[in-house]
A = this chain, B = another copy of it.
Protein backbone atom coordinates (compact mmCIF):
# COMPACT_ATOMS: atom_id res chain seq x y z
CA UNK A 1 0.00 0.00 0.00
CA UNK A 2 2.58 2.61 -1.03
CA UNK A 3 1.18 6.09 -0.68
CA UNK A 4 1.88 9.68 -1.33
CA UNK A 5 2.78 10.30 2.29
CA UNK A 6 5.44 7.64 2.16
CA UNK A 7 7.22 9.13 -0.80
CA UNK A 8 9.36 11.53 1.19
CA UNK A 9 11.48 8.53 2.22
CA UNK A 10 10.88 9.04 5.87
CA UNK A 11 13.45 6.93 7.69
CA UNK A 12 11.76 5.24 10.64
CA UNK A 13 14.95 4.10 12.33
CA UNK A 14 16.53 7.52 12.06
CA UNK A 15 13.40 9.17 13.40
CA UNK A 16 13.28 6.83 16.39
CA UNK A 17 16.93 7.54 17.13
CA UNK A 18 16.21 11.27 17.01
CA UNK A 19 13.26 10.75 19.34
CA UNK A 20 15.48 8.95 21.82
CA UNK A 21 18.01 11.78 21.66
CA UNK A 22 15.35 14.32 22.65
CA UNK A 23 15.15 12.57 26.01
CA UNK A 24 11.73 13.99 26.81
CA UNK A 25 9.73 12.43 29.61
CA UNK A 26 5.97 12.85 29.50
CA UNK A 27 5.17 9.57 31.26
CA UNK A 28 2.14 9.95 33.54
CA UNK A 29 1.65 13.53 32.42
CA UNK A 30 -1.13 15.08 30.38
CA UNK A 31 -1.20 17.18 27.25
CA UNK A 32 -3.26 20.27 27.99
CA UNK A 33 -1.38 23.38 26.79
CA UNK A 34 1.58 23.49 24.44
CA UNK A 35 3.17 26.34 26.39
CA UNK A 36 3.45 24.19 29.49
CA UNK A 37 5.71 21.83 27.57
CA UNK A 38 9.38 22.38 26.91
CA UNK A 39 10.87 22.18 23.44
CA UNK A 40 12.04 18.59 23.83
CA UNK A 41 8.54 17.56 24.86
CA UNK A 42 6.94 19.35 21.93
CA UNK A 43 9.43 17.87 19.48
CA UNK A 44 9.01 14.48 21.04
CA UNK A 45 5.25 14.44 20.44
CA UNK A 46 5.71 15.75 16.91
CA UNK A 47 8.28 13.06 16.18
CA UNK A 48 6.11 10.28 17.56
CA UNK A 49 3.24 11.60 15.43
CA UNK A 50 5.37 11.44 12.30
CA UNK A 51 6.63 7.97 13.16
CA UNK A 52 3.09 6.70 13.70
CA UNK A 53 1.94 8.31 10.45
CA UNK A 54 4.74 6.62 8.57
CA UNK A 55 4.06 3.28 10.25
CA UNK A 56 0.46 3.60 9.09
CA UNK A 57 1.57 4.43 5.57
CA UNK A 58 3.88 1.40 5.60
CA UNK A 59 1.11 -0.81 7.02
CA UNK A 60 3.01 -1.55 10.24
CA UNK A 61 0.82 -2.38 13.22
CA UNK A 62 1.24 0.30 15.87
CA UNK A 63 -1.17 -1.12 18.43
CA UNK A 64 0.48 -0.91 21.82
CA UNK A 65 -2.59 -1.77 23.84
CA UNK A 66 -4.12 -5.23 23.58
CA UNK A 67 -7.16 -4.01 25.51
CA UNK A 68 -8.02 -0.75 27.26
CA UNK A 69 -10.56 2.04 27.01
CA UNK A 70 -10.22 5.61 25.82
CA UNK A 71 -12.88 7.98 27.10
CA UNK A 72 -14.09 10.76 24.87
CA UNK A 73 -15.80 13.65 26.57
CA UNK A 74 -17.12 16.15 24.06
CA UNK A 75 -18.84 19.08 25.66
CA UNK A 76 -19.29 20.68 22.26
CA UNK A 77 -20.25 19.32 18.86
CA UNK A 78 -17.52 17.94 16.67
CA UNK A 79 -17.06 15.67 13.68
CA UNK A 80 -13.41 15.93 12.89
CA UNK A 81 -12.07 15.93 16.41
CA UNK A 82 -14.35 13.02 17.30
CA UNK A 83 -13.06 11.02 14.36
CA UNK A 84 -9.47 12.07 14.97
CA UNK A 85 -9.69 10.88 18.55
CA UNK A 86 -11.38 7.61 17.59
CA UNK A 87 -8.83 7.02 14.87
CA UNK A 88 -5.93 7.76 17.18
CA UNK A 89 -7.17 5.46 19.91
CA UNK A 90 -8.00 2.69 17.49
CA UNK A 91 -4.53 2.95 15.94
CA UNK A 92 -3.03 2.28 19.38
CA UNK A 93 -5.44 -0.56 20.17
CA UNK A 94 -7.82 1.29 22.50
CA UNK A 95 -11.62 1.15 22.32
CA UNK A 96 -13.44 4.46 22.63
CA UNK A 97 -16.31 4.88 25.08
CA UNK A 98 -18.16 8.18 24.92
CA UNK A 99 -18.93 9.96 28.15
CA UNK A 100 -22.19 11.45 27.02
CA UNK A 101 -23.22 13.71 29.84
CA UNK A 102 -26.79 13.82 28.66
CA UNK A 103 -27.20 10.10 29.19
CA UNK A 104 -25.22 9.95 32.42
CA UNK A 105 -25.88 10.76 36.03
CA UNK A 106 -23.40 13.60 36.02
CA UNK A 107 -26.18 16.10 36.36
CA UNK A 108 -27.23 14.38 39.58
CA UNK A 109 -24.63 16.11 41.69
CA UNK A 110 -21.60 14.02 40.99
CA UNK A 111 -18.31 15.65 41.59
CA UNK A 112 -15.78 15.76 38.82
CA UNK A 113 -13.27 13.80 40.85
CA UNK A 114 -15.72 10.97 41.41
CA UNK A 115 -16.74 10.69 37.77
CA UNK A 116 -13.12 10.87 36.66
CA UNK A 117 -12.36 7.78 38.71
CA UNK A 118 -15.57 5.91 37.94
CA UNK A 119 -14.91 6.00 34.21
CA UNK A 120 -11.23 5.12 34.52
CA UNK A 121 -10.88 1.68 36.12
CA UNK A 122 -9.73 0.23 32.81
CA UNK A 123 -9.08 3.47 30.97
CA UNK A 124 -5.79 4.52 29.40
CA UNK A 125 -6.66 7.91 27.92
CA UNK A 126 -9.28 10.60 28.39
CA UNK A 127 -9.86 13.09 25.57
CA UNK A 128 -11.80 16.23 26.47
CA UNK A 129 -13.22 18.97 24.32
CA UNK A 130 -14.61 21.86 26.33
CA UNK A 131 -14.20 25.17 24.58
CA UNK A 132 -17.45 27.03 25.05
CA UNK A 133 -16.96 28.68 28.39
CA UNK A 134 -14.17 31.14 29.05
CA UNK A 135 -12.33 30.20 32.21
CA UNK A 136 -13.88 26.75 32.37
CA UNK A 137 -12.50 24.25 29.87
CA UNK A 138 -8.89 24.19 30.97
CA UNK A 139 -9.93 24.32 34.62
CA UNK A 140 -12.16 21.28 34.14
CA UNK A 141 -9.35 19.34 32.44
CA UNK A 142 -7.01 20.10 35.32
CA UNK A 143 -9.62 18.91 37.81
CA UNK A 144 -9.98 15.63 35.92
CA UNK A 145 -6.20 15.21 35.79
CA UNK A 146 -5.84 15.85 39.52
CA UNK A 147 -8.61 13.38 40.32
CA UNK A 148 -6.81 10.76 38.25
CA UNK A 149 -3.51 11.49 39.98
CA UNK A 150 -5.23 10.96 43.31
CA UNK A 151 -7.05 7.81 42.22
CA UNK A 152 -3.84 6.30 40.93
CA UNK A 153 -1.88 7.23 44.04
CA UNK A 154 -4.57 5.83 46.33
CA UNK A 155 -4.75 2.50 44.52
CA UNK A 156 -8.20 3.09 43.06
CA UNK A 157 -6.76 2.86 39.55
CA UNK A 158 -4.22 0.34 38.30
CA UNK A 159 -2.97 2.86 35.76
CA UNK A 160 -2.86 6.62 35.30
CA UNK A 161 -4.87 7.53 32.18
CA UNK A 162 -3.50 10.40 30.10
CA UNK A 163 -5.70 13.46 29.69
CA UNK A 164 -5.55 14.99 26.23
CA UNK A 165 -6.93 18.43 25.47
CA UNK A 166 -9.04 18.16 22.34
CA UNK A 167 -9.78 21.90 22.53
CA UNK A 168 -10.32 24.13 25.52
CA UNK A 169 -10.92 27.82 26.12
CA UNK A 170 -7.17 28.51 26.05
CA UNK A 171 -5.52 26.20 23.57
CA UNK A 172 -6.18 23.68 20.82
CA UNK A 173 -2.92 21.76 20.89
CA UNK A 174 -3.93 18.86 18.63
CA UNK A 175 -4.84 21.44 15.97
CA UNK A 176 -1.81 23.69 16.31
CA UNK A 177 0.59 20.73 16.40
CA UNK A 178 -1.03 19.33 13.23
CA UNK A 179 -0.77 22.76 11.62
CA UNK A 180 2.88 22.87 12.58
CA UNK A 181 3.66 19.45 11.12
CA UNK A 182 1.93 20.44 7.92
CA UNK A 183 4.03 23.57 7.38
CA UNK A 184 7.19 21.90 8.66
CA UNK A 185 6.85 19.26 5.94
CA UNK A 186 5.64 21.80 3.40
CA UNK A 187 8.74 23.94 3.86
CA UNK A 188 11.11 21.02 4.34
CA UNK A 189 11.98 21.06 8.04
CA UNK A 190 11.81 23.13 11.19
CA UNK A 191 14.94 25.02 10.21
CA UNK A 192 13.16 26.35 7.16
CA UNK A 193 10.37 27.81 9.25
CA UNK A 194 12.77 30.35 10.74
CA UNK A 195 12.05 33.77 9.40
CA UNK A 196 8.93 32.66 7.59
CA UNK A 197 6.04 35.06 8.04
CA UNK A 198 2.73 33.63 9.17
CA UNK A 199 -0.40 35.79 9.21
CA UNK A 200 -2.88 34.57 11.75
CA UNK A 201 -5.83 36.78 10.96
CA UNK A 202 -9.44 37.17 11.87
CA UNK A 203 -11.85 36.66 8.99
CA UNK A 204 -15.49 37.47 8.51
CA UNK A 205 -18.07 34.80 9.20
CA UNK A 206 -21.84 34.98 9.32
CA UNK A 207 -21.78 32.91 12.50
CA UNK A 208 -20.94 33.98 16.00
CA UNK A 209 -19.26 32.63 19.10
CA UNK A 210 -16.44 30.74 17.39
CA UNK A 211 -13.82 29.78 19.97
CA UNK A 212 -10.52 31.56 20.44
CA UNK A 213 -8.44 28.48 20.97
CA UNK A 214 -7.29 28.12 17.37
CA UNK A 215 -5.70 31.56 16.97
CA UNK A 216 -4.38 31.39 20.54
CA UNK A 217 -2.91 27.96 19.86
CA UNK A 218 -1.34 29.06 16.60
CA UNK A 219 0.34 32.28 17.81
CA UNK A 220 1.72 30.63 20.95
CA UNK A 221 3.13 27.63 19.09
CA UNK A 222 4.42 29.12 15.85
CA UNK A 223 6.26 31.84 17.75
CA UNK A 224 8.48 29.10 19.23
CA UNK A 225 9.96 28.26 15.85
CA UNK A 226 11.58 31.54 14.91
CA UNK A 227 8.68 32.55 12.70
CA UNK A 228 7.50 36.10 12.06
CA UNK A 229 4.02 35.90 13.51
CA UNK A 230 1.53 38.65 12.74
CA UNK A 231 -1.83 38.50 14.44
CA UNK A 232 -4.42 40.74 12.81
CA UNK A 233 -8.01 41.43 13.72
CA UNK A 234 -10.55 44.25 13.63
CA UNK A 235 -10.47 46.45 16.68
CA UNK A 236 -12.22 44.78 19.58
CA UNK A 237 -11.64 41.19 18.50
CA UNK A 238 -8.95 40.63 21.11
CA UNK A 239 -7.69 37.25 22.19
CA UNK A 240 -7.08 36.27 25.80
CA UNK A 241 -4.35 38.68 26.99
CA UNK A 242 -2.27 35.93 28.62
CA UNK A 243 -1.82 34.12 25.35
CA UNK A 244 -0.54 37.32 23.72
CA UNK A 245 2.09 37.50 26.43
CA UNK A 246 3.10 33.90 25.83
CA UNK A 247 3.48 34.55 22.11
CA UNK A 248 5.64 37.61 22.79
CA UNK A 249 7.97 35.69 25.08
CA UNK A 250 8.23 32.79 22.70
CA UNK A 251 9.10 35.09 19.81
CA UNK A 252 11.81 36.76 21.86
CA UNK A 253 13.37 33.44 22.85
CA UNK A 254 13.15 31.84 19.43
CA UNK A 255 14.56 34.77 17.51
CA UNK A 256 11.33 35.31 15.67
CA UNK A 257 8.85 38.14 16.06
CA UNK A 258 5.31 38.70 17.17
CA UNK A 259 3.21 41.62 16.06
CA UNK A 260 -0.43 42.57 16.44
CA UNK A 261 -2.17 44.72 13.86
CA UNK A 262 -5.67 45.67 12.83
CA UNK A 263 -5.18 45.14 9.12
CA UNK A 264 -5.59 41.94 7.16
CA UNK A 265 -3.60 43.55 4.34
CA UNK A 266 -0.70 44.36 6.64
CA UNK A 267 -0.62 40.82 7.91
CA UNK A 268 -0.82 39.29 4.45
CA UNK A 269 1.94 41.47 3.08
CA UNK A 270 4.87 39.22 2.23
CA UNK A 271 3.42 36.42 4.30
CA UNK A 272 4.62 32.89 3.56
CA UNK A 273 1.61 31.46 5.29
CA UNK A 274 -1.87 32.86 5.91
CA UNK A 275 -4.38 31.46 8.40
CA UNK A 276 -7.58 33.54 8.07
CA UNK A 277 -10.19 32.34 10.54
CA UNK A 278 -13.12 33.87 12.38
CA UNK A 279 -13.44 34.11 16.14
CA UNK A 280 -15.49 35.95 18.69
CA UNK A 281 -13.91 38.74 20.76
CA UNK A 282 -12.62 37.55 24.10
CA UNK A 283 -14.88 39.96 25.96
CA UNK A 284 -17.93 38.76 24.08
CA UNK A 285 -17.05 35.19 25.00
CA UNK A 286 -16.80 36.25 28.64
CA UNK A 287 -20.22 37.89 28.51
CA UNK A 288 -21.61 34.86 26.73
CA UNK A 289 -20.21 32.53 29.37
CA UNK A 290 -21.99 34.54 32.08
CA UNK A 291 -25.26 34.56 30.13
CA UNK A 292 -25.05 30.83 29.43
CA UNK A 293 -24.41 30.11 33.08
CA UNK A 294 -27.33 32.26 34.08
CA UNK A 295 -29.50 30.60 31.46
CA UNK A 296 -30.34 34.08 30.14
CA UNK A 297 -31.82 33.19 26.75
CA UNK A 298 -32.97 36.73 26.00
CA UNK A 299 -29.55 38.09 26.86
CA UNK A 300 -27.93 35.52 24.61
CA UNK A 301 -30.15 36.47 21.69
CA UNK A 302 -29.37 40.15 22.17
CA UNK A 303 -25.66 39.43 22.38
CA UNK A 304 -25.79 37.29 19.25
CA UNK A 305 -27.61 40.01 17.36
CA UNK A 306 -25.12 42.67 18.44
CA UNK A 307 -22.19 40.49 17.56
CA UNK A 308 -23.47 39.51 14.14
CA UNK A 309 -24.12 43.18 13.40
CA UNK A 310 -20.63 44.00 14.52
CA UNK A 311 -19.14 41.14 12.50
CA UNK A 312 -20.96 42.47 9.45
CA UNK A 313 -18.92 45.67 9.57
CA UNK A 314 -15.90 43.59 8.69
CA UNK A 315 -17.07 41.67 5.66
CA UNK A 316 -14.02 42.92 3.86
CA UNK A 317 -11.94 40.59 6.04
CA UNK A 318 -12.18 37.87 3.47
CA UNK A 319 -9.22 35.95 2.14
CA UNK A 320 -9.69 36.59 -1.57
CA UNK A 321 -7.40 36.59 -4.58
CA UNK A 322 -6.62 40.28 -4.24
CA UNK A 323 -5.33 39.82 -0.71
CA UNK A 324 -3.45 36.66 -1.64
CA UNK A 325 -1.55 38.77 -4.21
CA UNK A 326 -0.08 40.74 -1.32
CA UNK A 327 1.64 37.63 0.05
CA UNK A 328 5.13 36.47 -0.82
CA UNK A 329 5.21 35.91 -4.54
CA UNK A 330 1.44 35.98 -4.41
CA UNK A 331 1.41 32.38 -3.32
CA UNK A 332 1.38 32.05 0.42
CA UNK A 333 0.33 28.73 1.86
CA UNK A 334 -3.27 28.95 2.97
CA UNK A 335 -4.20 27.17 6.20
CA UNK A 336 -7.45 26.49 7.98
CA UNK A 337 -8.59 24.18 10.77
CA UNK A 338 -11.74 23.43 8.76
CA UNK A 339 -14.58 23.71 8.12
CA UNK A 340 -14.03 27.10 6.53
CA UNK A 341 -16.88 29.47 5.77
CA UNK A 342 -16.43 29.69 2.02
CA UNK A 343 -18.07 32.54 0.16
CA UNK A 344 -20.77 31.31 -2.24
CA UNK A 345 -20.20 27.73 -1.12
CA UNK A 346 -21.14 27.40 2.51
CA UNK A 347 -22.43 30.95 2.94
CA UNK A 348 -23.05 34.18 1.02
CA UNK A 349 -19.98 35.90 2.41
CA UNK A 350 -17.36 34.16 4.50
CA UNK A 351 -13.77 33.74 5.56
CA UNK A 352 -12.39 32.82 2.18
CA UNK A 353 -13.36 33.11 -1.46
CA UNK A 354 -14.22 29.95 -3.32
CA UNK A 355 -11.30 30.13 -5.74
CA UNK A 356 -8.68 30.71 -3.05
CA UNK A 357 -10.08 27.84 -1.01
CA UNK A 358 -10.34 25.48 -3.95
CA UNK A 359 -6.65 25.91 -4.79
CA UNK A 360 -5.70 25.21 -1.19
CA UNK A 361 -8.31 22.56 -0.50
CA UNK A 362 -6.17 19.43 -0.75
CA UNK A 363 -3.52 21.16 1.38
CA UNK A 364 -6.03 21.81 4.15
CA UNK A 365 -7.12 18.16 4.02
CA UNK A 366 -3.50 17.10 4.47
CA UNK A 367 -3.14 19.60 7.31
CA UNK A 368 -6.08 17.88 9.02
CA UNK A 369 -4.60 14.49 8.28
CA UNK A 370 -1.89 14.95 10.87
CA UNK A 371 -4.37 15.26 13.73
CA UNK A 372 -5.12 11.58 14.42
CA UNK A 373 -1.40 10.92 14.63
CA UNK A 374 -0.76 13.93 16.87
CA UNK A 375 -3.44 12.70 19.28
CA UNK A 376 -2.05 9.17 19.19
CA UNK A 377 1.41 10.59 19.86
CA UNK A 378 0.19 12.51 22.89
CA UNK A 379 -1.41 9.37 24.31
CA UNK A 380 1.67 7.27 23.60
CA UNK A 381 4.01 9.88 25.06
CA UNK A 382 1.96 10.19 28.26
CA UNK A 383 1.29 6.48 28.87
CA UNK A 384 4.57 4.85 27.86
CA UNK A 385 7.73 4.92 29.92
CA UNK A 386 10.01 4.61 26.93
CA UNK A 387 8.28 5.50 23.67
CA UNK A 388 11.37 5.22 21.43
CA UNK A 389 12.12 1.69 22.63
CA UNK A 390 8.51 0.63 22.22
CA UNK A 391 8.28 2.12 18.73
CA UNK A 392 11.54 0.47 17.75
CA UNK A 393 10.14 -2.87 18.90
CA UNK A 394 6.94 -2.40 16.93
CA UNK A 395 8.82 -1.42 13.79
CA UNK A 396 11.18 -4.37 14.20
CA UNK A 397 8.29 -6.78 14.77
CA UNK A 398 6.78 -5.38 11.56
CA UNK A 399 3.32 -6.79 12.24
CA UNK A 400 0.94 -5.97 9.41
CA UNK A 401 -1.83 -3.60 10.39
CA UNK A 402 -3.94 -4.82 7.53
CA UNK A 403 -3.63 -8.34 6.14
- Asked if B403 and A390 make an inter-chain contact with CB atoms under 8 angstroms apart, the answer reads yes
The answer to whether residues A122 and B87 also contact, given A109-B346, A111-B345 and a CB cut-off of 8 A, is: yes
Residues of B within 8 A of A361 (CB): 114
A207 at the interface (CB under 8 A from B): yes
- Asked if A108 and B158 make an inter-chain contact with CB atoms under 8 angstroms apart, the answer reads no
Q: Which residue of B lies closest to A368 (CB)?
A: B118
Residues of B within 8 A of A366 (CB): 155-156
- Asked if A96 and B99 make an inter-chain contact with CB atoms under 8 angstroms apart, the answer reads no
Closest CB-CB distance, A389 to chain B, in whole Å? 10
A83 at the interface (CB under 8 A from B): yes
A86 at the interface (CB under 8 A from B): yes
Residues of B within 8 A of A90 (CB): 67-69, 95, 122
- Asked if A401 and B3 make an inter-chain contact with CB atoms under 8 angstroms apart, the answer reads no
- Asked if A67 and B122 make an inter-chain contact with CB atoms under 8 angstroms apart, the answer reads no
Q: Out of B97, B365, B399, which one reaches A96, CB within 8 Å?
A: B97
Q: Out of B3, B87, B118, B342, which one reaches A123, CB within 8 Å?
A: B87
- Asked if A86 and B91 make an inter-chain contact with CB atoms under 8 angstroms apart, the answer reads no
- Asked if B156 and A109 make an inter-chain contact with CB atoms under 8 angstroms apart, the answer reads no
- Asked if A369 and B156 make an inter-chain contact with CB atoms under 8 angstroms apart, the answer reads yes
Closest CB-CB distance, A303 to chain B, in whole Å? 20
Closest CB-CB distance, A125 to chain B, in whole Å? 12
Question: In the complex, A341 Cα to B110 Cα: how many Å?
Answer: 9
Q: Out of B62, B121, B154, B402, which one reaches A65, CB within 8 Å?
A: B402
Q: Which stretch of A74-82, A188-196, A322-330 is in the interface? A: A74-82
Interface residues of A in 60-75 (CB under 8 A from B): 61-69, 71, 74
Closest CB-CB distance, A288 to chain B, in whole Å? 18
Residues of B within 8 A of A6 (CB): 158
Closest CB-CB distance, A64 to chain B, in whole Å? 4
A104 at the interface (CB under 8 A from B): yes
- Asked if B67 and A109 make an inter-chain contact with CB atoms under 8 angstroms apart, the answer reads no
The answer to whether residues A124 and B83 also contact, given A97-B96, A156-B365, A366-B156 and a CB cut-off of 8 A, is: no
Question: In the complex, A288 Cα to B50 Cα: how many Å?
Answer: 50
A57 at the interface (CB under 8 A from B): yes
Question: In the complex, A87 Cα to B161 Cα: how many Å?
Answer: 14
Closest CB-CB distance, A186 to chain B, in whole Å? 13
Q: Which residue of B lies closest to A151 (CB)?
A: B365
A312 at the interface (CB under 8 A from B): no
Question: In the complex, A97 Cα to B89 Cα: how many Å?
Answer: 12
The answer to whether residues A121 and B78 also contact, given A66-B402, A67-B63 and a CB cut-off of 8 A, is: no
Question: In the complex, A401 Cα to B158 Cα: how many Å?
Answer: 12
Counting from the closest, the 6 A-B pairs by CB-CB distance are A4-B155, A109-B346, A79-B104, A87-B122, A64-B403, A156-B365
With A4-B154, A79-B99 already in contact, 6 other A-B pairs whose C-beta atoms are closer than 8 Å:
A3-B155, A5-B155, A67-B91, A77-B104, A83-B99, A118-B338
6 contacts between A and B (CB under 8 A): A79-B115, A83-B97, A108-B346, A109-B346, A111-B346, A383-B402
